[in-house]
Structure 1
Amino acid sequence: MDEGRSLELFFDSISLGTMDEYQPSIESLTKVLNKKYYDAESIDDHCIVVGSVGRKTAVSKTSDLDLLFILPHEVYTRFNAYESNGQSALLQEVKNAIRSRYPKTKIKGDGQAVVVSFTNRAYSIDLVPAFEQSDGTFKYPDSNDGGSWKITNPIPEQDACSDLFLATNGDGKRLCNALRIWKNTFGFHFKGLLIDTLVDSFYSSDNRSEEPYDLLTDLFEYLSNQDQTQSFWYALGSNQHVTNDDNGAFVLKAKKAHDRLIKATGSDERECALIDLFGKSFSDVVVDGTSNYEEKEWSTKYGVVVREQFIEDLFNVDVRRSMRIDCKVSQRGFRPTLLRDMLAKHLPLLRGRSLFFFVDDVDSFAGCDFYWKIRNCGEVAFQRGCVRGAICRGNEIGTHVEETAFIGPHYVECYAISNGVCIARSRIEVPID
């Protein structure tokens, strides 16, 4: 592998280039709300792009866009006077104003934002009505738990990211992008603002490498040394609290990523390590690569054409929640056993077993469609012409049934799809002895 060139292409490919894709929607929504609240026809006033896109740390194929629309203060006075949950009423009013322009579009009030899900576009917009304060912060509604007003401060966060990019010659941005691809590949929740904050604090530490591979290694080591029990971090620029969601899952996963990178010595091993961490986003751009050498040899030897599918080719991937799948292994005359328990105890999984895969806590994914991928990649699969790797839609209850047919390495992945976006994924290894 040409490591330097491959990493350069990887970073270039995952960076969000322009706002051209989003601009028509931003202008249209801005025009609607300016007409209602300011009696003006402007397409660019009172609207601020925030979130990862606003901080310029979003990756390509970003599936949602966060906007603040600044409302007149008299609107705040009107809804703050409600006896109960004026915040919900405000969201409903904004939602109805947008619906007058998009009557066939899926629009809903969602706690703190009005979510506009365009059926003909590969993204949705979370629009937050807000009121600018004298100190430059913004007050916005939260309709949860009876309603309240919250404060956000995105401009200093954007400025801090710009300073980071300038001070690091763009490497800070590349690392923010790479961590988003990593969490999407492994399927766990890692807040975008927390990613950017930790990358910024990483650059406040000492002894960083300059070579891209070693820089990634240092970053994962830094993440692995974070306190998994810490309740919050102070956001870059604004010093707002960024809470620790998902029990700090990123800490243990970063330790595994660091170990994977540091143990890879030769070029081929380093290539495989990068593919393991960043998935198809990296494998697609490898220059002079030799990964999956055995599979290429088996494919030639047995005349098998491999047509593996990847979820990234079917849907935008933006993992927002963690998901876990498990499997009940059963055979006649024996009590079903969880596959993860068998693997933990190093018990063999033999042929002729029934496998019942299921999504844990499936009720929390109500409204999602489930897709499954069964991948077998050992020599026996090539020898028999039974290589699998297609992605198929599953049932609405998040279950899938298979049988163990022949020995070799297998794995199963499940994807939760919401509004055309993969918001969660999980994988389990199925080594058949």
Structure 2
Amino acid sequence: MASNTSNSTTSLAELLYGADRHVQPTLLGSGLNGLINSAEPTPPWAYVTQRFTAFLQNLNLTEAQVADGTTKFKGVVSTLNAAYYGTNSDSDHAFFIGSWAKHTRIRPPRDVDLYFLLPVEVYNRFDKYSGNKQSALLQEVKGNLLAAYPLSNIKGDGPVVLAGFWSFNVEVVPAFALQEDRTYWVPKTQNGGSYMTTKPLHEVDVIELADSRNNGNVRRLIRMLKCWQEHCNVELRSFYLELLAVEFMDQWAYRDKSYFYYDWMCRDFFAWLITKAGSFVLAPGTFEILWIGEAWKTKAETASGRALKACDYEHNNKEGDAGDEWQKIFGADVPKWV
């Protein structure tokens, strides 16, 4: 499983602007003496790298949380394989989707999302039903899970069957694989029922490729934005934030940089996001137009103003003042002191 963060603790302002920041200070010597005798012995941005490294580490799921989510995935898949295929496999006919597939999950853990692929015989059986076939299908999947987990809160609401557990939920999407590569039908219960075409693995591809061409910055930005979404109750779906992060990063001037530039990355993203109010993103694979509205715009404007102020504090090494502003955006996961 891909790592969500890497160790990045180089300090003394990235060994005196090793990552640029536009102006290279003049070193009076070489090696450690040169750093000590530099024209700027206390360089600006002294706390940025440590702060954002710690922030992203704080968003990592613990080993116990990862193990818990994996165990729940396996238990649900084993139950459904027993019901529909007569085996106890905890991995066949299923795969992660959402943040667990994209490696964009954060702590505290949210839902574990998965697709479970049903046999074509199940489609044929329900196709003979009168009324809402898709609702009947979801109720059957719900019943099979309820039999195995009688004390859990199991709900069926197309296209998802929600298995509510004590620590976090598992959202199961029953699906039928189509002949076209990695294309699936999932049940939709609204308006009398229908099937909709989905391409969830194309979403994973978009994140993976964007992260690769942008120095690993896309996933890190997404994880920080999810923290903002949670802390400030931002009315913008995580899926939309992911696609917006990809779009932003592909045009950001410093996309090849890393942690030393993350104060500017946050500042520039929020300023850019404001310009996207009332626009749309395209769903990978299906190219469905997804309108993102503008209910979230005021909170983006507030975050933009605070990030601008925090960047000024970071430049002047006002560690606590910068930390205060970042915490107003992201909460306590981003440290005030580093």
| TM-score normalised by length of structure 2 | 0.78
AA of the residue aligned to 1:233: V
Tell me what 2:186 maps to: 140
Q: 1 CA distance for matches of 2:337 and 2:321?
A: 14
AA of the residue aligned to 1:225: T
Q: 1 CA distance for matches of 2:227 and 2:147?
A: 37
Deviation at 1:94, TM superposition (A): 0.6
User: Of 196, 208, 216, which residue of structure 2 is paired with 1:150?
Assistant: 196
Tell me what 2:328 maps to: 276
Deviation at 1:50, TM superposition (A): 0.6
AA of the residue aligned to 1:205: Q
Counterpart check, 1:235 vs 2:280: no
Deviation per CA, 1:44-76: give whole Å up to 9, x if none. 101111112221112122221111100011211
Deviation per CA, 1:342-372: give whole Å up to 9, x if none. xxxxxxxxxxxxxxxxxxxxxxxxxxxxxxx
AA of the residue aligned to 2:254: R
Is the 1:35–1:41 contact (alpha carbons within 8 Å) kept by the matching residues of 2?
A: yes
Deviation per CA, 1:63-122: give whole Å up to 9, x if none. 211111000112112212322111110011111111111112111112321111113xx1
Secondary structure, counterpart of 1:100 in structure 2: helix
Q: 2 CA distance for matches of 1:51 and 1:200?
A: 15
AA of the residue aligned to 1:154: P
Deviation at 1:123, TM superposition (A): 0.2
Is the 1:115–1:126 contact (alpha carbons within 8 Å) kept by the matching residues of 2?
A: yes
Identity of paired residues, percent? 28
AA of the residue aligned to 2:125: R
Q: 2 CA distance for matches of 1:241 and 1:164?
A: 20
Deviation at 1:17, TM superposition (A): 6.1
Secondary structure, counterpart of 1:281 in structure 2: coil
Structure 1, unmatched stretches of 5+, are 289-433
Deviation at 1:229, TM superposition (A): 2.4
For 1:116-265, list aligned pairs within 5 A: 116-119=163-166, 122-135=167-180, 136-208=182-254, 210=257, 211-226=261-276, 228-230=277-279, 232-236=280-284, 239-244=287-292, 247-264=293-310, 265=312
Higher relative contact order (CA 8 A, sep 6+): 2
Cα 1:139–1:125 shift into 2, 3 Å: same
Tell me what 1:2 maps to: 47
Is the 1:79–1:86 contact (alpha carbons within 8 Å) kept by the matching residues of 2?
A: yes
| TM-score normalised by length of structure 1 | 0.61
Give the RMSD, CA atoms, in angstroms. Answer: 1.9
Q: 2 CA distance for matches of 1:218 and 1:97?
A: 48
AA of the residue aligned to 2:324: C
Cα 1:286–1:263 shift into 2, 3 Å: closer
Which structure has the highest strand share of the two? 1
Q: 2 CA distance for matches of 1:165 and 1:221?
A: 21
Q: 2 CA distance for matches of 1:20 and 1:12?
A: 18
Secondary structure, counterpart of 1:43 in structure 2: coil
Tell me what 2:15 maps to: none
Tell me what 2:149 maps to: 102
Q: 2 CA distance for matches of 1:237 and 1:149?
A: 17
Deviation at 1:2, TM superposition (A): 2.7
Cα 1:252–1:277 shift into 2, 3 Å: same
Secondary structure, counterpart of 1:179 in structure 2: helix
Q: 1 CA distance for matches of 2:74 and 2:89?
A: 8
Deviation at 1:206, TM superposition (A): 4.1
Q: 2 CA distance for matches of 1:152 and 1:236?
A: 10
Tell me what 2:13 maps to: none
Tell me what 2:60 maps to: 15
Secondary structure, counterpart of 1:21 in structure 2: helix
Is the 1:223–1:250 contact (alpha carbons within 8 Å) kept by the matching residues of 2?
A: no
Is the 2:323–2:337 contact (alpha carbons within 8 Å) kept by the matching residues of 1?
A: no
For 1:270-419, list aligned pairs within 5 A: 270-282=322-334, 285-288=335-338
Is the 1:194–1:233 contact (alpha carbons within 8 Å) kept by the matching residues of 2?
A: yes
Cα 1:102–1:206 shift into 2, 3 Å: closer
Greater CA drift, 249-258 or 158-167: 249-258
Secondary structure, counterpart of 2:115 in structure 1: strand
Is the 2:278–2:291 contact (alpha carbons within 8 Å) kept by the matching residues of 1?
A: no
Secondary structure, counterpart of 1:140 in structure 2: strand
Q: 2 CA distance for matches of 1:140 and 1:100?
A: 23
Q: 2 CA distance for matches of 1:96 and 1:25?
A: 17
For 1:40-79, list aligned pairs within 5 A: 40-79=87-126
Structure 2, unmatched stretches of 5+, are 1-45
Cα 1:70–1:161 shift into 2, 3 Å: same
AA of the residue aligned to 2:205: D
Is the 2:154–2:163 contact (alpha carbons within 8 Å) kept by the matching residues of 1?
A: yes
Is the 2:234–2:299 contact (alpha carbons within 8 Å) kept by the matching residues of 1?
A: no
Q: 1 CA distance for matches of 2:72 and 2:111?
A: 12
Q: 2 CA distance for matches of 1:88 and 1:239?
A: 26
Which structure has the highest helix share of the two? 2
